[in-house]
Copies of this chain bind each other. A is one copy, B any other.
Amino acid sequence: MQLDNFLCFAIYSANHAFTRVYKPLLDELDLTYPQYLVMVVLWEKDDQTVGSLGEKLFLESSTLTPMLKRLEAMGYVARVRDKVDERQVRVRLTETGRALKEKARGVPLGIADATGMEPAEIVRLKQEIAALRASLLR
C-alpha cells in the first residue's frame, strides 16, 4: 500500500509527464495535447462522426463536443450535420487543418527523442500498455 508500488500511478504520472513534453511543441501549432490527438485521428482519416472519434480516442461526446467546437473556432475543422442521418455530426478538416499536418511533422520525433528509448522498445512497451488497457476495459 505504497504509492511507488502502484502501476496506476506510474501511468497517471507518466501521462502528465508526456503532456509537459508535448506542451512546447504543440504551442507552435496552437493545439492542446488532446486536441492534437483529435487532429492525428483526422489526418489519418478525414470526415468522421463524433462517435467514431470517440471510439478511437476512448472519449465521450460530452468531452469531444466542446473540444471540436474549439477546433472549429480555430479554423482547423468544420462540423456539419450528416444529410442522410441528421443525428450524426461529421467532422472534416479544413484546408488549414490539413496543412497543419506538415507543421506537425516533427512532433513525433521530438517526443520519441524525449523518451530516451529505442524505437523497437517503444513499440513493445506501447503494445504491453495497450493490452493492459484492453484488460482494464474488459
Asked if residues B108 and A135 are in contact (CB atoms below 8 Å), the reply is no
> Does more than half of chain A's interface fall in helix, strand or loop, or is it mixed?
helix
A99 in the interface (beta carbon within 8 A): no
A117 in the interface (beta carbon within 8 A): yes
A83 in the interface (beta carbon within 8 A): no
Asked if residues A3 and B129 are in contact (CB atoms below 8 Å), the reply is no
Q: A125-B7, A135-B115 are in contact. Are A12 and B13 (CB under 8 A)?
A: no
Instruction: List residues of chain B with CB within 8 A of the CB of A114.
Output: 135-136, 138
Partner of A1, one of B2, B20, B40, B129: B40
Which chain A residues numbered 97 to 123 have a C-beta less than 8 Å away from chain B? 101, 105, 108, 111, 114-117, 122-123
Q: A12-B18, A57-B13, A58-B16 are in contact. Are A5 and B133 (CB under 8 A)?
A: no
Known: A1-B108, A11-B18, A114-B135. 20 other contacts (CB 8 A): A1-B40, A1-B43, A2-B40, A3-B37, A3-B41, A3-B57, A6-B126, A7-B122, A8-B15, A10-B129, A14-B130, A14-B132, A15-B15, A17-B133, A17-B137, A20-B137, A114-B138, A116-B135, A117-B132, A125-B132
Residues on A facing B (Cβ under 8 Å):
1-18, 20-22, 37, 40-41, 43-44, 56-58, 101, 105, 108, 111, 114-117, 122-123, 125-130, 132-133, 135-138
